[in-house]
A and B are shown apart, each in its own frame.
Chain A
Amino acid sequence: MKLLLISNILVPLFGAFLMLIVGRKSESTASSLIKIVSFVFGVSVALTLLVWVYRGAEVFSWRGNHVYQNGNYEFPFALHFDLLSAVFLCVSTYMSLLILHYSRYYMHRESGYSRFFAIIMLFMGGLTFLFEAGTLDLLFAGWEVVGISSFLLIAFYKTRATSCKNAYLTYCVYRVCDVGLLLSACLVHFLWNDGQQFSQMSLSPAFIQEHSLPLTLLGAFILLAACGKSAQFPFSFWLSRAMEGPTPSSAIFYGAISVHLGVFILIRMYPFWHSIESIVWCVAGIGLLSAILGTISARSQSSIKGRIAYDSLAQVGLMFVELALGFPKMALLHFIANSGLRCSQLLLSPSVVVATLKKQSSRGIENNRPVRWLGFKISQRLRASLYVLSLKEGYLYAALQELAQVPKHIFGRFLKVLSFNWTRLGILFFGFVAFSYLGSETLADYYVWLAVVGACVALLSALSALYENADALRAWNATGFSLACLTGSLLLTAHNCEKDCLLFWAGVGPAWIVGALILRHLKSKNDQTLMLSNYLGMQDEHPVLAFVFFICFLEVVGFPIGPVFIAEDAYLHHLTDHGVWLVGVFVVAFVVNGVSLARVFSRVFFGTRKLAASIRGATVPRA
Chain B
Amino acid sequence: MDLRDVSYVSGLLKKLAKHLPTQGPLQEFVHHNPLHAFQSVPFHQGVFEASVIHGAKGYLSFSEYRSLEKKGVISESEVYAAIQRHAETPEQRSVLKTHMYTLEESVVCEHHQELREAIFADKFESLQAYVHPRLFRLVGNFLDQGISQWAMSDGSETFWNTLRGLIRDSVFPVSFLEPFCREWILQKTSDEVIDLALEKILREQQGSLSEKYLSEMLRSHPGWSGMVSFLEKHPEALLLARKISLADAVALELLLEISFCKKRLNDKNFKFLDSKKFTAYKNALKVTSKIHQRLADENKIKSVWQEAYEWSYFNKAIKLLDNKFRNSASKSIKPTKAQLFFCIDDRECSLRRHIEEIDERLETFGAPGFFGIDWMFKSVGSHLLAKLCPAPVKTRYLVEEVDPSFSAKEPIVSKLQHVATDTSGNSLVRGFFSTQILGLWHGFKLALSIFLPSEKRPPDLYADHVKPIGELKLLRSQEPSKDDLFIKGFSFQEMADRVYSVLNSVGLRDGFSPLVFLIGHGASSVNNPYFSAYNCGACSGRPGAANARAFAQMANDPEVRELVKAKGISIPQTTYFVGGLHDTTRDELVFFHEDKIPASHQESFADIKATLEIALQNNAKERCRRFELVSLDITPPKALKHVRQRSHSIFEPRPELNHATNCLCVIGSRALTKGIFLDRRAFLQSYRSEQDSSGEILSSLLAAAVPVCGGINLEYYFSKTDSEKYGSGSKLSHNVMGLLGVANGVEGDLLTGLPTQMTELHPPLRLLMVIEQEPEILLACMEKNGDLKNWVVNEWVRVACLSPLTKDWYVFEKGEPKKMTLSEELASLQIYSNSLGVIEKQARDIDPVHIQQGCLA
Contacts and interface: CB of A to CB of B under 8 A. Distances in A.
A193 interface: no
Interface centre among A294, A384, A386 (most CB of B within 10 A): A384
Contacts of B87: 623
B485 to A, nearest CB: 16
Interface string A380-411: 11011111111110010010010001000100
Interface stretch (B269-277, B445-453, B472-480): B445-453
B150 A371 contact: yes
Given A302-B738, A303-B147, A315-B432, A364 B383 contact: yes
B150 A344 contact: no
B527 A351 contact: yes
Contacts of B460: 354
Contact of A353 (B148, B431, B529, B745): B529
Which among B527, B628, B734 has the greatest number of chain A C-beta atoms within 10 A? B527
A117 to B, nearest CB: 14
A246 B748 CA distance: 14
B744 A620 contact: no
B763 interface: no
A340 B446 contact: yes
B383 A307 contact: no
Nearest to B424: A359
A360 B420 contact: no
Interface size class of B (residues with CB under 8 A): 35 or more
B527 A348 contact: yes
A337 B427 contact: no
A299 B739 contact: no
A162 to B, nearest CB: 6
A295 B26 CA distance: 27
A357 B733 contact: no
A362 to B, nearest CB: 6
B125 A161 contact: yes
Contacts of A381: 169-171
B846 interface: no
B443 A620 contact: no
Contact of A105 (B137, B176, B652): B652
Given A241-B745, A350-B734, A353-B736, A340 B651 contact: no
A459 B151 CA distance: 47
Contacts of A246: 730, 732-733
B827 interface: no
Given A101-B451, A303-B140, A388-B170, A365 B747 contact: no
Interface in B493-542: 526-529, 531
B384 A361 contact: yes
A53 B107 CA distance: 65
B384 A344 contact: no
A387 B151 CA distance: 9
Interface in B240-297: 240-241, 264, 266, 284, 287, 290-291, 294, 297
B439 A103 contact: no
B439 A337 contact: yes
The SS class assigned to the A binding surface is helix
Given A110-B732, A300-B141, A362 B383 contact: yes
A345 B141 contact: no
Contacts of A337: 435-440, 443
B651 A106 contact: yes
Interface in A297-356: 298-307, 309, 311, 314-315, 318, 333-334, 336-341, 343-345, 347-356
Nearest to A369: B151
Given A299-B150, A356-B739, A389-B172, A344 B443 contact: yes
Contacts of A391: 137-138, 141, 152, 174
Contacts of B138: 391
Given A105-B649, A333-B436, A351-B421, A385 B736 contact: no
Contact of B301 (A295, A356, A357, A623): A623
A314 B428 contact: yes
A314 B427 contact: yes
B95 interface: yes
A409 B266 CA distance: 9
A534 interface: yes
Nearest to A372: B150
A499 B766 CA distance: 71
A533 B616 CA distance: 58
A353 B739 contact: yes
B744 A244 contact: yes
Contacts of B437: 337
Q: Most chain-B Cβ atoms within 10 A of its Cβ — which of A295, A344, A367, A534?
A: A344
A361 B748 contact: no
Contact of A298 (B171, B290, B427, B447): B427
B593 to A, nearest CB: 23
B598 interface: no
A60 B561 CA distance: 84
Interface stretch (B98-106, B395-403, B580-588): B98-106
A380 B169 contact: yes
A98 B171 contact: no
Nearest to B735: A305
A482 interface: no
Contacts of A405: 264, 266
A542 interface: no
Contacts of A298: 149, 426-427
B301 to A, nearest CB: 6
B169 A383 contact: yes
Contact of B744 (A163, A347, A401, A623): A163
Contacts of B444: 340
Interface string B743-771: 11111100000000100100000000000
Contacts of B300: 622-623
A563 B176 CA distance: 46
Contacts of A80: none
B383 A304 contact: no
Contacts of A610: 108, 110
A381 B170 CA distance: 6
Contact of A295 (B104, B174, B427, B628): B427
A350 B106 contact: no
A175 interface: no
Contact of B383 (A361, A383, A616): A361
Contacts of B748: 160, 162
Contact of A349 (B107, B432, B736): B736
B92 interface: yes
Which of A165, A307, A616 gathers the greatest number of chain B CB atoms within 10 Å? A307
A575 to B, nearest CB: 37
A247 B742 CA distance: 13
A303 B746 contact: yes
Given A301-B147, A303-B735, A354-B460, A102 B651 contact: yes
Contacts of A295: 427-428, 431
Contacts of B106: 615-617, 620
B150 A390 contact: yes
Contacts of A370: 150-151, 154
B96 interface: yes
A314 to B, nearest CB: 6
Contacts of B418: 355, 359
Q: Which of A299, A356, A372, A610 has the most CB of B within 10 A?
A: A356
Interface string B648-669: 0111111000000000000000
A358 interface: yes
B146 to A, nearest CB: 5
* Closest 9 pairs (CB-CB, A-B): A337-B439, A340-B443, A384-B169, A617-B106, A355-B421, A246-B732, A302-B144, A341-B439, A388-B170
Given A365-B239, A620-B297, 16 more contacts: A106-B652, A157-B730, A162-B129, A241-B746, A300-B152, A304-B735, A315-B431, A337-B439, A341-B439, A350-B527, A356-B423, A359-B418, A381-B170, A385-B172, A533-B125, A534-B125
12 contacts: A246-B732, A298-B149, A304-B735, A353-B26, A357-B739, A358-B461, A364-B383, A387-B166, A388-B166, A615-B107, A615-B291, A623-B92
